[in-house]
A and B are shown apart, each in its own frame.
Chain A
Amino acid sequence: MNIVVLMKQVPDTYAERKLQAGDNTLDRDASDAVINEIDEYAIEEGLLLKEAHGGEVTILTMGPDRATESIRKALSMGADKGVHVLDDALHGSCAITTAKVLAKALGTVEYDLVIAGSEATDSRLSIVPALVSEALGVAQLSGARKVTVDGSTVTIERTTDTGFDRVEGAVPAVVSVVEKINEPRYPSFKGIMAAKSKPVTTLSLSDLGLSPDEVGLVASTTTVESYEEAPPRAAGTIVKDEGNGGAAIAEYLASRKLI
């Protein structure tokens, strides 16, 4: 079974994140770049399915030059090859255009299953997996905490507020996963060394038959008109327990409409 994992490189979640003046897009040089955290679970799930069913895991990403580092990390975890959609014109692409590009790129590889993280820590739209499945015209199974494949049927447990739904679809399909699904492995030293010789294909817009005016900021369906820095955090309220601590806390929470 061949699996493609959609991976996004994002600014380190723990770093201060900034937009850049000018076009109000993410300043990707302002902080360290890492694999979007939930995507590591998607990679792990891909590797587990490959270990169970055989086949290959391909990492597909769209992003600037340095996204190569994240592809290498995924390869060092055990993925077999990478596809990097790299083109300056992609800068500022919205979710819909991103999905269009990813769907085109998926047309260049063979797959039975596409696995993605349920959301990215930078834009947090959680819409790309659904848009990709729509663009491909295949089933979408979202929010999976468990994935099983039996022949040409993929079944997931979709987390809900109260439990889970069992959702079934035919392969090929797009599955998005949540953190509950597994525990991503660390790359091993051997894995790091092996990753160096694994193939990574770089695709430009023209390789995908797309023109620059179909993507990027010019074609974006959304724009950031303006933004403000988050205000500095105000000092907290200290409730001193003078025999009435419990009531005082309850009062405070009630005043904030939290209880």
Chain B
Amino acid sequence: MSAEITSSPFILLFRGTDWDRGLSAEEIQQTMSRWSDWFDRLTSEGKAKLGQPLTNDGKIVSGKKGFAVVDGPFTESKEAVAGYILLRVADLDAATELAKECPGLDFGMSVEIRPISEELGRGPD
């Protein structure tokens, strides 16, 4: 358990794997550099605990009667999750304000902010 009793855990899910279409390599690099700076700042402020991009590969397992494993259509999708950040901040409003700084937003990405139920679960610290 964390000593910070006044903060709560949240996950930011970055949605949209096609935000970079139509952008030049330089524009992508600029955006990614802003993204790294943003994440570094959140980490140094003690707000970001863990965060990683996901590849556009992957599979979906489902099936009420036996397993169906299909290749996920994760490219060219506005809904697909492209990465995540685990946050610890005061409340949902604080998490929402912080998510509005996401550099991918003005290229069509969206950010989902969800409170984490901490009592059931593990990690990251």
Tell whether A and B belong to one assembly: no
